[in-house]
């Protein structure tokens, strides 16, 4: 990399693993070298240049070769093929579809061939161990070939610091280990980002109207789900999490869900607010809105006496459940640390992040309404008689009580 290329022209030139940790930041010089030295060895109007490698940095040659700003009229001269280690996730790593699951050569002396004489290579079980050790950023970049931001909106240290390893996914149980002491003042929300093709994501969320702390109770990501599967999830989660509001994105093809009479009637009879959310072309939602979630994950502080070593400050206002054995929570974490404003495309998964954002929209509206109550009661212009005659009625609690009586 970087030297002169001599000799006759070639019909095919292959650059294999030319980017390393030591030269990853020299991508500008590397691009110039490819243009001046390597591409000049191809015959005029023909030949192919193949660049193969593994991502090693948030900004490297492999990323910048795909940046349209480096080319006249923004037209890329490259065809790009990404080969992630995991092609399709499943709840059980044994069911993962991986890129290189079998090989003709054993990895260890104890490996046993299958009936076809092939040995396990990068199976789901082996890759899940690599994933846990690598962490969400490295896993997304190196193993899944996903672009990550050099200065991430969601700092991986903060996202990991918001995980409560003592609480598993599920309904909050006041007083249980890892759970809040009291959940009587909680407002519960289910957010859904549906899709007719691709992934549909749902997040179950609770916000404490007293402390403003948010709790992600559960995450679920479905690949290419049917309307029936989404209906089933809504029914099951309604019985499990008893939401006050269900919010669903309703752009274009998602309309089928918010207009579904069966679901609307199911939720209405239980006193649950069912509302659509229209993202449209409103940049505040996918960019500024999602980015505004980042402060909820807290901040980082430097460890005393250690250079370039930081830890989470423990000041997060949002809490995630344990992700060690939950594939869906892991997906949310990985989507958070790879999320970038304005980025779109099939490779950039953000369904779970959007479902989380829909929940937060309702949470902020709820907290704003709750904040106005004490201001109303403390109005300095009210007479003593007015103040003594004012009462607070929690309509959510009242509705819940009435539902319980009817049942």
Q: Residue 297: inside a domain, yes or no?
A: yes
Q: At what angle do helices 227-241 and 261-268 cross, to 10 degrees?
A: 10
Whether residue 218 sits in one domain with residue 169: yes
| pLDDT of the residue at 98 | 93
Whether residue 91 sits in one domain with residue 58: no
Helix, strand and coil content of the chain, in percent to the nearest 5, comes to 40, 15, 45
Q: Residue 112: inside a domain, yes or no?
A: yes
- Residues 44-82 have pLDDT tens digits of 878 899 999 998 888 889 989 988 888 887 888 899 998
Whether residue 102 sits in one domain with residue 60: no
| pLDDT of the residue at 321 | 97
Collapsing DSSP states into helix, strand and coil, what is residue 313?
coil
Closest CA to 215 of 247, 183, 249, 177: 183
Whether residue 327 sits in one domain with residue 193: yes
Which helix (DSSP H) or strand (DSSP E) does residue 267 occupy? helix 261-268
User: By the 8 A CB rule, do 245 and 364 touch?
Assistant: no
Whether residue 123 sits in one domain with residue 47: no
Longest dimension (CA), the chain: 98
Tell me: pLDDT of 193 over 70: yes
Q: Which domain holds residue 175?
A: 151-370
DSSP string for residues in 4-47: ---SS--SEEEEES---TTTGGGHHHHHHHIIIIIGGGSPTT--
Those residues with Cβ within 8 angstroms of residue 169's Cβ, 6 or more apart along the chain or in another chain:
217, 218, 219, 321, 322, 326, 328, 329
- Residues 331-369 have pLDDT tens digits of 999 999 888 776 655 555 789 999 999 999 999 999 988
Q: Residue 386: inside a domain, yes or no?
A: no
- Residues 106-159 have pLDDT tens digits of 888 888 999 889 998 899 998 988 988 887 888 888 888 888 766 678 988 899
CATH number of domain containing 211: 3.30.420.240
Q: Residue 138: inside a domain, yes or no?
A: no
Q: How many domains does the chain have?
A: 3
Those residues with Cβ within 8 angstroms of residue 393's Cβ, 6 or more apart along the chain or in another chain:
none
Of the ranges 163-177, 305-319, 374-388, which is most confident? 163-177
Tell me: pLDDT of 377 over 60: no
- Residues 236-250 have pLDDT tens digits of 999 999 999 999 987
């Amino acid at each position: 990399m970087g030297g002169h290329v001599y000799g006759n022209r070639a019909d095919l030139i292959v650059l294999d693993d030319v980017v390393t940790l030591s030269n990853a930041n020299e991508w500008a010089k590397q691009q110039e070298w490819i243009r001046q030295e390597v591409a000049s060895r191809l015959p005029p109007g023909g030949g192919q240049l193949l660049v193969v490698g593994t991502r090693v940095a948030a900004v490297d040659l492999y990323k910048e070769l795909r940046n349209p700003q480096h080319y006249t009229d923004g037209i890329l001269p490259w065809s790009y093929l990404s080969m992630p280690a995991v092609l399709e996730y499943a709840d059980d790593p044994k069911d993962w579809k991986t890129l290189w699951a079998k090989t003709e050569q054993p990895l260890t002396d104890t490996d046993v061939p299958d009936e076809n004489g092939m040995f396990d290579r990068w199976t789901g079980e082996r890759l899940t161990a690599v994933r846990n050790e690598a962490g969400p950023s490295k896993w997304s970049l190196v193993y899944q070939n996903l672009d990550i931001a050099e200065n991430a909106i969601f700092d991986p240290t903060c996202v990991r610091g918001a995980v409560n390893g003592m609480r598993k996914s599920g309904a909050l149980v006041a007083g249980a280990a890892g759970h809040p002491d009291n959940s009587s003042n909680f407002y519960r929300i289910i957010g859904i980002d549906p899709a007719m093709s691709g992934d549909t994501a749902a997040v179950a969320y609770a916000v404490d109207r007293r402390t403003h702390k948010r709790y992600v109770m559960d995450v679920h990501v479905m690949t290419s789900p049917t309307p029936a599967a989404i209906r089933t999830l809504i029914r099951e989660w309604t019985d499990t999490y008893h939401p006050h509001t269900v919010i669903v994105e309703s752009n274009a093809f998602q309309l089928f869900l918010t207009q579904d009479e069966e679901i609307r009637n199911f939720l209405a009879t239980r006193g649950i607010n069912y509302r659509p959310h229209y993202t449209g072309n409103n940049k505040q939602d996918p960019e500024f809105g999602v980015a505004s979630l980042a402060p909820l994950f807290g901040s980082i502080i430097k460890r005393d006496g250690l250079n370039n070593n930081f830890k989470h400050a423990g000041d997060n206002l949002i809490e995630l459940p344990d992700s060690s054995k939950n594939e869906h929570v892991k997906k949310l974490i990985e989507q958070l640390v790879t999320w970038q404003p304005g980025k779109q495309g099939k490779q950039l998964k953000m369904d779970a992040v959007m479902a989380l954002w829909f929940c937060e929209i309702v949470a902020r509206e709820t907290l704003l309404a709750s904040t106005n109550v004490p201001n109303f009661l403390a109005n300095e212009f009210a007479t003593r008689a007015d103040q003594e005659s004012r009462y607070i009625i929690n309509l959510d609690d009242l509705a819940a009580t009435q539902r319980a009586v009817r049942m």
